[in-house]
Amino acid sequence: MTDPTTLPAATLAAAIASGELTSTAAVEAALARIAALDGELKAFITVCGGQALEEARRADRDRAAGRLRGPLHGAPVAIKDNTLTAGIRTTFGSRAYAHHVPDSDDACVAKLRAAGAIVIGKTNTPEFAFGALCTNAIQGPTANPYDRRFASGGSSGGSAVAVAARMVPLAQGTDFGGSVRTPASFCGVVGLRPTPGRIPAAPKRFAWNSMSVHGILARDATDAALMLEAMSGAEPGDPLSIGMDRWRADSLDQFETVRPRVAWSLDLAFATVHAEVAAVFGQAIDAMRRLDIELAAAAPDANGAQHAFETLRAGQLHATYAELCERHRDLLSPSFLWNVDRGRVLDASEYLAAEAERSRLYERFVRFFRDHDLLATVSAAVPPFPNTQENVTEVAGVPMANIIDYLRVTYLITLVGFPSVSIPCGFTPSGLPIGMQLVARPCEETLLLAFARRLERELGFRHRPPSDPVK
């Protein structure tokens, strides 16, 4: 019998729906793999095996009775541990919440459950999802499955590793400045940051906040599309989602013959990129020249992005976590405290000036995408770094302005709210994955994922499993 952990999510879900495979078998296989690997990889903070198996047996009874809940009926998934899960410990990677068990799901988790998915556990994250290294006082550091000495990326590193190491076929993550796309790049998987509102988020402190979104980690674009279908749709608690119809995975097929106009830029004329990343990206662009597409070197104007992002991020973090820092400062990490304290001296005029700069950036992106359908750049400015390195303070010998400066290639896209996806596009000479970031216009996830799937099929820009220590 085929090992369920080797199956793509779409194949696994179809096998469960047809009765060829049981959900119980799929969950048991996932739990066995977590038990075998996670002592070394540290992808999970909490594994809820008993609860998951109970839900799997219920899913099998429902299937036998002809009741399929949705496109992920009976399939195991993992949820990042900064996302609320009813009845399952949610620590936010912090000792301050080490024993916190929510009584309700985040809207995106509720949608996954409604689609039939079974939550198998909570994945590791830096404290409150802010940090380059996926570690905290409870768990970590999460190790890269291609080389355990290297990092998984922050902050959805646990989810990326769980998918890359075949512990689960799909995992949820969150992305503020690159927290889905960077781990996807480091771990050789697909990482989707959709248009704000495409995947609803509720509850959230600032209902209209579009900087942080829920995202997806998968092993290919088809599976990412399937999970997006399950998680998408309007939610009254999230005003950004109102008017967002449920997205359909089968919509990718309509773009099979589209000839997109693709702009490419290594650094967006804005970031410093490591030589190993630049070499792999250059080879990927050369390979794309063989496709029937329009390919041109170009980038939108990123002037003002650094100040806008750092100001808005600092203001939001301080407004969200200042009270927590006052109450539990002795329990919190220096990196997290640095992030929150940066917003202490901001005033309203500075914050609104940054919002105005963000608006100008958005307008420039809109103009740029009148002449281009997609933009290709790197997903991370650096290759995976040693798991003993807490922060990225320099790139290619160039000192970074601060510990988030290396994220320019991703946080620029966050600022303007365009959807983006990281896909594998090659490896460093030492065998570590490198990702390509593709960007599309708002709400054009169909074109984005369809083109990603085309690159998988025609150029081999796809997940290549790490060596498997489980025999």
Catalytic machinery residues: 80, 155, 179
Number of other residues whose CB lies within 10 A of the CB of residue 258: 14
The amino acid present at 191, given as its one-letter code, is G
CB distance 153 to 379 below 8 Å? no
Closest among 446, 392, 428 to 192, alpha carbons compared: 446
Cα within 13 Å of Cα(15), Cβ side: 20
Q: Which two tokens stand for residue 400?
A: 């970074």
In the sheet with 44-47, reading across from the earlier edge strand, the strands are 44-47, 118-123, 76-80, 170-175, 213-218, 190-193, 420-427, 433-440, 374-378, 261-264, 294-297
Q: What angle do CA 156, 6, 119 make, to 5 degrees?
A: 45
Distance of CA 219 to the CA centre of its chain: 12
Burial class (CB in 10 A: 0-12, 13-18, 19+), 340: buried
